[in-house]
Amino acid sequence: MAERDIEDVSARMEKYENNIHIQYFDYLFAQIKNFSNLINLARILNNTAMEIAVRELNFENIFYNKNIIPLEETNPDFDIYSFNYNLLKTFYPLEIEFYHLKKQAESLLEFSEKFGGKSKFLSELLGYGEKSNFLILFQDNEIIKPTGGYFQAYGILEINNGQVKKFSTHSMLDLDNLSAIALTEIPPKPMIEYANATTWLPSDSNWDPSWPKSAQKFKWFFENSSSTNKNYNKNLDGVIAFNLNMLRDLLKETGEVSVYGEKINYENFRDILKDENKKNISELIIKVYKNLTEQGTQNLRDIFYKNIELKNILFYFNNQAVENIAKVLNYDGEIRNSDGDYLMVVDSSLDKNKNFTTKEEIYYDLKEENNEFFVNLKINYVNLSPEDYNSYVRIYVPVGSEFKSCNIEGKIDIYTESEKTVFGFFLPIEKNEIKNLICSYVLPEKIKTLKNKGDYSLYIQKQPGKKIDKLTVDLSFLDSIKLYEPTGFFVDFDNNHIKWEKTLKTDSEFLINF
């Protein structure tokens, strides 16, 4: 939460503290004071975060600031769990105002939880106290795979007290060849059925869209492909993945570099790398890293966090405590748990044809009828590429959802994975073809239960490496909508119906109160 947001909420809360009508009700007034104390904590956390920010991720000299106030020493005089919104709802016409204050309280709590774990996360990442070793994976998101892209190259990073000690990169083709000789791993069934795969290779090991699972699978391939890797793997602390979008932003910051006699910049690097010379990307990464360390950069921190938010960087840690922190921060790329409605559309290229010219739009249409929730999910693809595009598509929805229909040729695989119901199918799209999918299903009982309590929520998770050019969320209910979030970018609202339109660059959540 930005400083101006904190001060805005503070001014509004002061107005309520001075309201003689509110002061008359002791318990209500106590709630207001409770919230004010939470705002004071937010100020402390925000100032401390700003103090840390100037030192985060400076790869040349990162150190702790002794003036930073530890979270446990703030002694906040509030109890978020005693913040009783149900009581505040009875004080109409303040209901809407208090609803938004409640949401801001939850945001402040989330901020404090994330802040508390952030320093531990950075400590592990940057090798404070003890050096850290990571496998680094470079995903080509122009060949879309479940976690963001085809594994084009990998590296080994050693970092100690914020300084990179060693960084080597290696061809994924070499690891594939080692794996093909040493291992006989059976590929996932869709790869066998639709891509004629006979052996599962490290470059395709990110079949599971949940990054912790795919990261562990790649580690397994890495460890078991050679005795050298097995010995090194004992000292690995985790796996970090980057995609080409992150590389583009770094090139934009560092400027042009020369690789094998070619001048590479953020505008032409995709064309130069498309010849699949795996040494190119390895050498490019080394040159970009060298420029970063030589030049230094004020913008590196912003680039880092922007790309985390856009899921261009994914983290997996062997240390479960640190992995749990990454999960709280939403840095881990795991399929998210959701008490309400949920959607994730996962595309998986079954060949090495580029998909970056494929446009995709999602239209989520929900209607409540007779206390049932019917979903028509429309996914529109436009393949502008000169080549055909073959994908295995998975639609992740709340567990227990009942499949009704989908206008595709071929079979639908229906199963449970990562506590979600999954609808999977093969989707071939010819060059210059437009394909409009419509899949229908009924949401499970838990959505009815949530709605009967006066709420509905929809969490749409973005697949890393992929941009949805247009997302439409169209919701119709039997009851009148009182409150909704987000309040921006909606295009239609009328009593019991609301529709939003946006691009899907990050995870998005939609909330309704009746």
Domain count, the chain: 3
In this structure, is residue 53 part of a structural domain? yes
In this structure, is residue 125 part of a structural domain? no
Identify whether residues 266 and 290 lie together within a single domain: yes
Give the Cα separation of 228 and 232 in Å (integer): 6
Identify whether residues 109 and 162 lie together within a single domain: no
Identify whether residues 105 and 162 lie together within a single domain: no
- Environment class of 72 (CB within 10 Å of its CB; exposed 0-12, middle 13-18, buried 19+): exposed
Identify whether residues 7 and 154 lie together within a single domain: no
In this structure, is residue 126 part of a structural domain? no
In this structure, is residue 54 part of a structural domain? yes
In this structure, is residue 127 part of a structural domain? no
In this structure, is residue 335 part of a structural domain? no
Strands 497-504 and 508-513: unpaired
Structural domain of residue 359, as residue ranges?
Answer: 341-513
In this structure, is residue 418 part of a structural domain? yes
Q: Choose the final residue of a domain: 65, 93, 119.
A: 119
Give the Cα separation of 299 and 289 in Å (integer): 14
Side-chain-side CA neighbours of 271 within 13 Å: the count stands at 7
In this structure, is residue 105 part of a structural domain? yes
Identify whether residues 460 and 350 lie together within a single domain: yes
Please give the helix or strand (H or E) that residue 398 lies within, else none. Answer: strand 389-398
Contact 237, 211 (CB under 8 A): no
Please give the single-letter amino acid code of residue 390.
N
Identify whether residues 314 and 351 lie together within a single domain: no
Identify whether residues 149 and 179 lie together within a single domain: yes
Q: Choose the final residue of a domain: 58, 86, 119.
A: 119
The pTM assigned to this predicted structure is 0.81
Identify whether residues 196 and 303 lie together within a single domain: yes
Identify whether residues 387 and 287 lie together within a single domain: no
pLDDT, tens digit only, all 514 positions of the chain: 455 556 666 666 666 666 665 555 565 566 666 666 656 655 655 555 544 444 444 433 433 333 333 333 333 444 444 444 444 444 444 555 556 555 655 665 565 555 556 667 777 787 777 888 999 999 999 899 999 999 988 988 888 887 778 888 888 988 999 999 999 999 999 999 999 999 999 999 999 999 999 999 999 999 998 877 776 767 889 999 999 899 889 898 888 888 877 888 888 887 776 655 545 666 787 788 777 767 665 677 788 888 999 999 999 999 898 898 888 888 999 999 999 999 999 999 998 777 667 899 999 999 999 889 999 999 999 998 888 999 999 999 999 999 999 999 899 999 999 999 999 999 999 999 999 999 999 999 999 999 999 999 999 999 999 989 999 999 999 999 998 999 877 778 999 999 999 999 999 999 999 9
Q: Choose the final residue of a domain: 272, 307, 328.
A: 328
